[in-house]
Amino acid sequence: MSGILDGKRILITGVLMESSIAFHAAKVAQEQGAEIILTAFPRPTLTERIARKLPKPAKVIELDVTNAEHLDRLAGLVRDELGTLDGVVHSIGFAPQDALGGNFLNTPFESVATAMHVSAFSLKSLAMACKPLMSEGGSIVGLTFDAQFAWPQYDWMGPTKAALEATSRYLARDLGKDGIRCNLVSAGPLGSMAAKSIPGFGELAEVWNTRAPLAWDMSDPEPAGRGIVALLSDFFPRTTGEIIHVDSGVHMIGA
């Protein structure tokens, strides 16, 4: 039986641990027939080690999304490996420690600027770096954490995710003429490396224990990975600028 990504060529960022959403997106993508290539920073060797746990081998390219030289060379490196691209997964986020954990009113602009560059502006940077490889159109999928609300401890990552969501909409607007869709998956909290870097993360995660209509398992990133793969496929051919929630329904519960 064929998979929904048969013949697709996908670039995936953010595979840092086996518990990361990006790892499960890569795993499901391969199971569904895709050829994938991974990017990593700052430790490509770590991603290479994690990539050995995927169903099939995957090349790892070093990519710092804030480095213009890395972005400029990306298309050539991917072309040498895969030829073209049908999809891109943006799973990149970072904020300095003083931008998290209840320090919102005291965070300096320099830390906010770093968070915005790495976590939001990089979606545009990555999209434009990969665009020459997507001459036949394709799908860009990013990861957000619902920016409609002010979450406990999340602080400046909240405005950063709001910027990411707006960036996705503008990319959807401007890349649509090239047949490129841009959507986001808004996942519930997971015990990933990114989550563990947030002081007081348990307080945020407790919301899901009390409000999720469907049971939420913080140790299971696969549902979010499946959501990403669905958006990479041809099953959403006219969906762009959208945010698909994979959060067991918490986003629609009022109280």
Please tell me whether 87 is known to bind a ligand: no
60 to 24, 129, 142, 149: CA distances (angstroms): 16, 16, 19, 35
Please tell me whether 243 is known to bind a ligand: no
Give alpha helix (H) positions in the chain.
Answer: 21-31, 44-51, 68-82, 109-116, 122-130, 157-175, 193-196, 201-211, 222-232
Please tell me whether 147 is known to bind a ligand: no
Q: Other CB atoms closer than 10 Å to residue 126's CB: what's the count?
A: 24
Please tell me whether 20 is known to bind a ligand: yes
Q: Report the candidate in 224, 188, 185, 192 with the shortest Cα–Cα distance to residue 205.
A: 188
User: Can you state the percent helix, strand and coil of the chain, rounding each to 5?
Assistant: 45, 15, 40
Structure tokens at 3: 């998979």
Structure-token match 């793969």, residue found = 229
Please tell me whether 92 is known to bind a ligand: yes
Nearest-5° Cα angle at 42, 69 to 189: 120
Q: Residues in the chain, how many?
A: 255
| Residue 143 parent element (H or E) | strand 138-144
Please tell me whether 185 is known to bind a ligand: no
DSSP readout, 194-212? HHHTSTTHHHHHHHHHHH-
Please tell me whether 10 is known to bind a ligand: no
Please tell me whether 83 is known to bind a ligand: no
Q: Report the candidate in 184, 174, 162 with the shortest Cα–Cα distance to residue 244.
A: 184
**Binding site residues, as ranges?**
14, 20-21, 64-65, 92, 95, 161
**Binding site residues for substrate, as ranges?**
95
**Binding site residues for NAD(+), as ranges?**
14, 20-21, 64-65, 92, 161
